[in-house]
Amino acid sequence: MLRAVIFDLDGTLLNSIDDLADAANWVCARNGWPLHTLEEYKHFVGSGIPNLCRRFAPPEAQSPEQQARVLADFRARYDAHKEDKTAPYPGAAGAVRALQNAGVMCGVLSNKEDGLAKAVVEHYFPGVFRHVQGAVAGRPVKPDPAGVFSLLKEMGLAPGPGVFLVGDSDVDVFTGKNAGLPVCGALWGFRGRAELAAAGADLLAETPAEMARLLLARAG
């Protein structure tokens, strides 16, 4: 029986890549560094904002002091422009509602900072998710399973049969494997079929609606 679904945020529920890329390239331009393409940013994101900043900065800007400045500049720019182009993927909210109407608990686990993740989810999905967790100090980010276990505890559940993860990258698939949970790959997101299949996703869905149908079929 399907008990719960844990969703990734960026690239799964939200198409946020333009705002992330714009903020990162703003930092690059400000420092006179080479800019990166949207496709490059689709592979830079997924492991948290500090890792994103390390990936778009050049080799000569990798010291802890430099990265602290890069991170501060990126956060300020992104916070001011994080809603310019970002939008939920078509059908995402309806798919979540279909799962909830079938009695399935739904939560969000993101590598965004916890406060930002909660604010973004509530802005774009008001009243939809009761359980949202992002990155917190002292806890490793995905693909470490610590966040999964923390979120499930908040939801009053234990990891095991009936809990699925949904995400668009190999980070999400590895998170599920590390937590002992199956994963449905979101083909509509940033990374695509080849990466998700190679990582070992248990299911692959072309759209949020298909994802909901596949998971609800597991509930029957």
User: Could you report the per-residue pLDDT of 131-172, keeping only the tens digit for each?
Assistant: 999 999 999 999 999 999 999 999 999 988 899 999 999 999
pLDDT of residue 121: 97
Residue 82 has pLDDT above 60, yes or no: yes
Q: What is the mean pLDDT of residues 184-210?
A: 97
Residue 220 has pLDDT above 90, yes or no: no
Compute the residue count for the chain: 220
Counting residues of the chain whose pLDDT is more than 70, the rounded percentage is 99
pLDDT of residue 170: 96
Token pair for residue 39? 């496709």
pLDDT of residue 83: 94
Which residue among 8, 10, 168, 172 is the active-site one? 8
pLDDT of residue 160: 87
Q: What is the mean pLDDT of residues 22-41?
A: 98
pLDDT of residue 104: 97
Is 172 a known active-site residue? no
Q: What is the mean pLDDT of residues 51-64?
A: 96
Q: What is the mean pLDDT of residues 31-42?
A: 97
The secondary element (H helix, E strand) that includes residue 107 is strand 105-113
Distance of CA 61 to the CA centre of its chain: 26
Q: What is the distance between the alpha carbons of residues 200 and 206, in angstroms, rounded to a whole number?
A: 16
Q: What is the distance between the alpha carbons of residues 78 and 94, in angstroms, rounded to a whole number?
A: 27
